[in-house]
Chain A
Amino acid sequence: MSLMCSLVMASITIPEKIGTDPQSMLWLLPLTAAIVVVYKATKLPTITLGTFVKETVVLLGSIVIFIIVIALVLFALAWLISG
C-alpha cells in the first residue's frame, strides 16, 4: 500500500519528459476528447450508451478532420510562400 502511495506521489511530483517536437502536439488529442465528452454530457437531452457514444464519436471525428484540413491548408500555404 505504501509502495502504491509512493508511486502515485512520485508520478504527480515529477514532471514527464516531453520534447518540443511536432509530435508533442498529439498530447492535445485526449484533451479534445475530454472536451467533447463533457460537452455532449451536458447537451444531450437523454443519455443512453448508444446515442452518447455515437454523438461523441461524430463530434470528435469532425473536429479531428477539421484540424487535419486546416493543417493541410496551412502546410500548402507555407509550401507556396517558401518554395
Chain B
Amino acid sequence: MVKHSRGNHLVFLITVGLLAWVVPGAGHYMLKEKKRAIIIFATIVLTFCIGLYVGSIGVINPADAKTWYLAQIMNSPMVAALGHLTTTAPENYLVFGKPNEIGQIYTGIAGLLNLLCIVNAVYLAHLCGTNRELTVKTPGKTGG
C-alpha cells in the first residue's frame, strides 16, 4: 500500500516536471498556483520570443552551438523542431555578431529560467504530497 502510494507520488512528480517543461508554468498551474503559472508563462515565453526576434531562429543551432542548445531546449521540447528546421536549411537562417549573441543569451536564459521553474514545481508537488500524507496519517490526533 505504501509502495503503491510512493509510486503514485513519483508519477505525480514526473508528470508535473514534464508538464512544466512542455509548457512553461503548466506545472504550477497543475498545482493550482494560477497566478505563479501565468507570470512564469508570460515572462518565459516573452523572453524567448524577444531572443528569436533579435537573433532570428538561426540562434537555435544544435550543430554549432550545442551548449546554448542545451539551455534553449529547456524552454520546451518544441524548440527541437526549430533546431531541426535550422539544421536542415542552415543557409536560410544565418546570423552572426551581436544579434546572434543577444538572441542566444535571451533564449538560453529563458530556458534556464524554465529549468528553475521545473525544479520549483516538482519541489512544490513533493511538498503537496508530503503534506497530504501527513494529514492522512494524523486524523486521529485532531479528532477528525
A contact residues vs B (CB 8 Å cutoff): 11-20, 24, 27-28, 30-31, 34-35, 37-39, 41-42, 47, 52
Contacts and interface: CB of A to CB of B under 8 A. Distances in A.
Nearest to B37: A41
B131 to A, nearest CB: 14
Interface of B: 35-36, 39-40, 43-44, 46-47, 49-50, 52-58, 92-93, 95, 97-100, 102-103, 105-106, 109-110, 113, 116-117, 120
Given A38-B44, A41-B39, A12 B56 contact: yes
A18 B54 contact: yes
B97 A13 contact: no
Tell me what chain A mostly uses at the interface: helix, strand, loop, or mixed: helix
Given A27-B102, A41-B39, A15 B47 contact: no
A34 B50 CA distance: 11
A18 B102 contact: yes
Q: 8 smallest A-B Cβ distances: which pairs?
A: A15-B99, A18-B98, A41-B39, A42-B120, A34-B47, A15-B56, A15-B95, A12-B52
30 contacts: A12-B52, A12-B53, A12-B56, A15-B54, A15-B56, A15-B58, A16-B53, A18-B97, A18-B98, A18-B99, A24-B102, A30-B47, A31-B105, A34-B43, A34-B44, A34-B46, A34-B109, A34-B113, A35-B109, A38-B43, A38-B113, A38-B116, A39-B116, A41-B36, A41-B39, A41-B43, A42-B116, A42-B117, A47-B35, A47-B39
